[in-house]
Amino acid sequence: MMESGAHFCNSCGEQIGLDANGELFVACHECYFPICKACFEYEINEGRKVCLRCATPYSDRVKDNDGTKVYENQSTTAAQINVSQDVGLHARHVSTVSTVDSELNDESGNPIWKNRVESWKEKDKKKKKKKKSVPKAENEAPIPPEQQMEEIQSSEASAAEPLSMVIPISKTRLAPYRTVIIVRLIILGLFFHYRVTNPVDSAFGLWLTSIICEIWFAFSWVLDQFPKWSPVNREAFVDRLSARYERPGEPSQLAAVDFFVSTVDPLKEPPLITANTVLSILAVDYPVDKVSCYVSDDGAAMLTFESLVETADFARMWVPFCKKFSIEPRAPEFYFSQKIDYLKDKVQPSFVKERRAMKREYEEFKVRVNALVAKAQKTPDEGWTMQDGTSWPGNNSRDHPGMIQVFLGHSGAHDVEGNELPRLVYVSREKRPGYQHHKKAGAENALVRVSAVLTNAPFILNLDCDHYVNNSKAVREAMCFLMDPVVGRDLCYVQFPQRFDGIDRSDRYANRNTVFFDVNMKGLDGIQGPMYVGTGCVFNRQALYGYSPPSMPKLPKSSSCCCCPSKKQTKDVSELYRDAKREELDAAIFNLREIDNYDEYERSMLISQMSFEKTFGLSTVFIESTLMENGGLPESSDPSMLIKEAIHVISCGYEEKTAWGKEIGWIYGSVTEDILTGFKMQCRGWRSVYCMPLRPAFKGSAPINLSDRLHQVLRWALGSVEIFFSRHCPLWYGFAGGRLKWLQRLAYINTIVYPFTSLPLVAYCTLPAICLLTGKFIIPTLSNLASALFLGLFLSIIVTSVLELRWSGVTIEALWRNEQFWVIGGVSAHLFAVFQGFLKMLAGVDTNFTVTAKAADDTEFGELYIIKWTTLLIPPTTLIIINIVGVVAGFSDALNGGYESWGPLFGKVFFAFWVIFHLYPFLKGLMGRQNRTPTIVILWSVLLASVFSLVWVKINPFISRPDSASISQTCISIDC
């Protein structure tokens, strides 16, 4: 159909006619569903005013033209329909801004952009006419019309099937959940009315502190709860993807994917783990010519380079073995460590023999890699030397040139069966003193530019060095969304949940983050999409370039926004200007891609004039890669020239005076660059998708001991505090244009303010001990109404949690572990992050908390019981001690006070036990096995608790101070 030029209606089977302009009739410009004009008018007359395939309303884009309803913008050609049906909209969809709207004037006011584009279009039309005039080959056999019709109908039917489907949560589960949320809000309002109007005069300070803390907790609950208002599930159809883009006898039309793997220090991030990640990528179930793996070595370590040499050699045996026997997972370390019957479902007689041989090969590979690690423990005085005798360029990790090495690929080594292997590229960007390198975000941006020059795949999948591909079809799952003609148009990335190995069954420190990945992210998927969490994410490359989605609403002409006060008008003007510049580049890209035969000199002139170089940097090769419609490289590209250009784009000064890290790529300004990057994309109007295949797509390693876990949480919290004090704070950034939905904004606000909850949380966890030591309480004597309010509040909390578990599938244990670690992390890591953030932002002081490791037991999960001295352990230990002391003091007072003292004691003790139960995993981890707790932690905590108790007894602000007059009057009345 595509070659013959015949197009048939999917409803009646007749040929699709031409419109009034003499061009092919198009009904829906969203999915280009083939339907003739007669069927289109019939559908309109019958009242069905939406597209049969994508359900886009016709009424929004039809207009009256001579009494007949015609779809707007009928200039779409058959070639565009062919692209949408056969190739898929996996290229970047730019805003269809006309050339007249995006014209560029020179100094004298001449429309240079318009004139050149129009001249190029004329050349392009002449070229197309010549192509159409070429007769068919005489020996080409004509296809019978009946057979052609059958093939067309079958291809149209398969193309009409969606590649993914949204599965809404059942109303029977979601409606009660929403109802309870509203009821809980009402109860909270009544509860705070009672608390505020009934102060405790005898303990006013404690009462006021508790009121402030409770109001903040309620605010945090609202921020956390309402983004879960419309959770959804999704299902991807991998078989339909293959049927549409991998037809028998034809080259695969699946989009290419560039994999990014980042590593810094091979002594902290073992090369064997990185090698397993790389091997799982090279063996992924995807066309070999569509996969490229880039490994970023930001530490310029020769150990990483040599381990990749060994990895590339072992991949020649491992990749064909995985694909021959459909191995899962395809990381050898984790495959061979599985405690399953590997003979199950394996019918090939040679499997057992080949598996044993492959395991021996892997053991030898591990020996070679471990020998490299042992050798690297001590650096020679003269530095490392390569095999040819030359000095390793990265001996000084802070001052070295850029390095690129292509190990595998189209011109590299093949596997043992003679088949081609995916491309494997080692990259170490240039570093020089005096330049800001921006850590991981800078390394990722360097990979974006290198990959654009060398392979330029339209999609990018980034993984941490310890996250391997657990599901070989994960990339296909993502392509079901990104290559879908309807869903993929405005999609900036597909985020997979993080899953982990090596965690004990009880998950004492909530390492799995089940509540976040299975509850919060599902809720965000129903709004504008999940946030980017740093790994396991497939990006649309053009979204990383800072462009806006095709269906982005037009910018308002006024420079102020109705939702912003007048004092922020300047901020809105600057945001509108930046967005207008992005639209200008959108228009430039769109118009350049319509032109096949433009002059090279004119192209370079136009690139310079359109300020591409100010945006992307001084590399015409890289800029031209952004103009490639479906990714890929120009046919005339020279590999040696490309390598030189790749070295140029990773130079340390390349990003100076450009938009990299500000509007393009991974965004700088926080250690949690993932939140910033996703936030910027969604502020431009992009949406994301959450993909949860039955078999986890990726698995990683989690810090399972207490100290490492707290430091991980500290890093995340510190990044959120940095964003809070930056210009990208969701409280005020991105209001111009209104492209970020309000519930999505609430979710992002929650990601930056949650560390500040540590301040009221520490105070609230201290209140029980104070109440028990002083005999005071934060709540007055309860009336019947107050008792009902407290009971209703507790019941609403329980019912909300139960209903949340019901629609999400999360277990009660996972929810309780998450609640416990919320308290543990809040009173330790989050607290330190807030103070460190204040010091860094206000005083420029960067404080680091060092960790010193001790030995672990040689048992499974032995690292769980490692105790490392860190400052983060002091606050929660102190809270546990003072609450235990308070409970003992409370029971002692009750025993001395008689029967009437036991009633008020229960409320205070319940309050104290609430704190102790939440900190119990911390206490258990602190004690470890055989009570091997660091002595210094106990000494510091006991010292702080003792000082607190002594100072409190000395000051005791809750005892009224009698004045001297009353004392003298009392003495006079006493008859001595």
Q: Which long-range contacts (CB under 8 A, 24 or more apart) does 16-25 make?
A: 19/70, 19/74, 20/65, 20/66, 20/70, 20/74, 21/74, 21/75, 23/74, 23/75, 23/76, 23/77, 24/76, 24/77, 24/78, 24/81, 25/71, 25/74
Q: Is residue 240 within 8 Å of 163, Cβ to Cβ?
A: yes
Higher-confidence residue of 843 and 549: namely 549
The pLDDT of residue 669 is above 90? no
Determine if residue 504 is labeled as part of a ligand binding site. no
Higher-confidence residue of 72 and 25: namely 25
Distance CA 375, CA 310 (A): 15
What value, to the nearest 5°, has the Cα angle with vertex 175 and ends 169 and 181?
115
Task: Specify the CATH number for 254-377+384-547+673-723; select among 3.40.50.620, 3.40.50.300, 3.40.50.850, 3.90.550.10.
Answer: 3.90.550.10
Distance CA 259, CA 423 (A): 10
294 SS3 class:
strand
Distance CA 451, CA 427 (A): 10
Determine if residue 37 is labeled as part of a ligand binding site. no
Would you state the pLDDT for residue 261? Answer: 93
Q: Is residue 609 within 8 Å of 104, Cβ to Cβ?
A: yes
Query: To which residue do tokens 């004139």 refer?
Result: 115
Percentage of residues of the chain with pLDDT beyond 90 = 22
> How many other β-carbons are positioned within 10 Å of the β-carbon of residue 971?
9
DSSP state, residue 839: I
Which tokens is 490 given? Answer: 């405005």
Weakest-pLDDT range from 168-177, 193-202, 380-389, 957-966:
957-966
Q: Which of 209, 85, 134 is nearest to 957 (CA)?
A: 209
Q: Is residue 702 within 8 Å of 692, Cβ to Cβ?
A: no
Q: Is residue 254 within 8 Å of 479, Cβ to Cβ?
A: yes
The residues, any chain, with a CB within 8 Å of residue 416's CB and separated by 6 or more, are 316, 317, 320
Determine if residue 960 is labeled as part of a ligand binding site. no
Would you state the pLDDT for residue 180? Answer: 92
Mean pLDDT of 882-888: 84
Domain ranges of the chain: 1-59, 170-229+733-953, 254-377+384-547+673-723
Would you state the pLDDT for residue 537? Answer: 94
Distance CA 634, CA 627 (A): 11
Q: Which of 812, 813, 818, 575 is nearest to 680 (CA)?
A: 575
Q: Which of 874, 850, 867 is nearest to 937 (CA)?
A: 874
Weakest-pLDDT range from 99-103, 429-433, 730-734, 961-965:
99-103
Which tokens is 788 given? Answer: 């009902």
What is the rounded (10 degree) CA torsion for 336, 338, 341, 342? -30
CA distances from 718 to 679, 723, 833, 835, 841 (A): 17, 9, 5, 9, 11
Determine which helix (DSSP H) or strand (DSSP E) holds 915, and give its type and residue range: helix 902-918
The residues, any chain, with a CB within 8 Å of residue 113's CB and separated by 6 or more, are 99, 102, 103, 104, 588, 591, 606, 609, 610
Q: Which of 479, 680, 649 is nearest to 579 (CA)?
A: 680
Q: Is residue 312 within 8 Å of 345, Cβ to Cβ?
A: no
Mean pLDDT of 786-813: 88
> How many other β-carbons are positioned within 10 Å of the β-carbon of residue 905?
20
The residues, any chain, with a CB within 8 Å of residue 540's CB and separated by 6 or more, are 92, 458, 459, 482, 488, 491, 492, 493
956 SS3 class:
coil
Determine if residue 439 is labeled as part of a ligand binding site. yes
Distance CA 754, CA 220 (A): 7
Distance CA 715, CA 933 (A): 24
Sequence letter at residue 37: K
Q: Is residue 918 within 8 Å of 825, Cβ to Cβ?
A: no
The pLDDT of residue 755 is above 70? yes
Which tokens is 667 given? Answer: 């965004």
Q: Is residue 422 within 8 Å of 644, Cβ to Cβ?
A: no
Sequence letter at residue 462: N
Report pLDDT digits (tens) over 307-364.
999 999 999 999 999 998 888 899 999 999 887 776 666 666 778 888 889 999 999 9
Strands across the sheet containing 291-297 = 403-408, 423-428, 291-297, 257-263, 459-464, 537-540, 491-495, 687-690
Report pLDDT digits (tens) over 233-250.
999 999 988 888 888 888
Give me the helices (H) in 689-841, please. 706-724, 742-753, 758-774, 784-808, 812-826, 829-838
Report pLDDT digits (tens) over 457-482.
999 999 998 899 999 999 999 999 99
Q: Is residue 482 within 8 Å of 688, Cβ to Cβ?
A: no
DSSP-assigned letters across all residues of 234-251? EEE-HHHHHHHH--TTS-
Average pLDDT, the chain: 76
Determine if residue 298 is labeled as part of a ligand binding site. yes
Q: Is residue 774 within 8 Å of 949, Cβ to Cβ?
A: no
63 SS3 class:
strand
DSSP state, residue 871: G
Would you state the pLDDT for residue 317? Answer: 92
Weakest-pLDDT range from 58-62, 131-135, 277-281, 332-336:
131-135
The CATH code belonging to domain 1-59 is 3.30.40.10
Q: Which of 758, 802, 754, 779 is nearest to 911 (CA)?
A: 779
Sequence letter at residue 716: W
DSSP state, residue 518: I
- Helices 812-826 & 829-838, crossing angle to 10 degrees? 40
DSSP-assigned letters across all residues of 80-134? HHHIIIII-S-S-------TTTT--B-TT--BHHHHHHHHHHHHHHHHHHHHHHS
Which tokens is 168 given? Answer: 């809404």
Report pLDDT digits (tens) over 915-958.
888 888 777 766 654 345 455 555 656 666 666 565 555 555 44
Residue 556: asked if its preceding bond is cis (omega within 30°), the reply is: no
The pLDDT of residue 585 is above 70? no
Write out the catalytic residue numbers. Answer: 298, 674
At residue 819, φ and ψ (nearest 5 deg) are: -65, -40
Report pLDDT digits (tens) over 35-88.
787 777 767 776 667 776 666 777 544 444 444 344 343 333 333 333 333 333
Q: How would you classify the pairing of strands 499-501 and 257-263?
A: unpaired
Q: How would you classify the pairing of strands 423-428 and 291-297?
A: parallel
Would you state the pLDDT for residue 545? Answer: 87
462 SS3 class:
strand
Distance CA 675, CA 754 (A): 14
Determine if residue 132 is labeled as part of a ligand binding site. no
The pLDDT of residue 676 is above 80? yes
CA-based end-to-end distance of the chain: 120
User: Which of the four pLDDT bands, split at 50, 70 and 90, describes residue 507?
Assistant: confident
Give me the helices (H) in 650-757, please. 673-683, 706-724, 742-753
Beta partners for residue 8, in sequence order = 15
> How many other β-carbons are positioned within 10 Å of the β-carbon of residue 338?
10
Distance of CA 74 to the CA centre of its chain: 39
167 SS3 class:
strand
860 SS3 class:
coil
Would you state the pLDDT for residue 133? Answer: 47
Beta partners for residue 852, in sequence order = 869
CA distances from 393 to 252, 399, 652, 810, 900 (A): 40, 9, 15, 50, 79
By residue count, the chain amounts to: 976
In the Cβ-directed half-sphere of 660, how many Cα atoms lie within 13 Å? 25
Higher-confidence residue of 817 and 954: namely 817
Query: To which residue do tokens 């404080």 refer?
Result: 847
Distance CA 270, CA 466 (A): 9
Determine if residue 119 is labeled as part of a ligand binding site. no
Report if pTM > 0.85.
no
Mean pLDDT of 363-374: 92
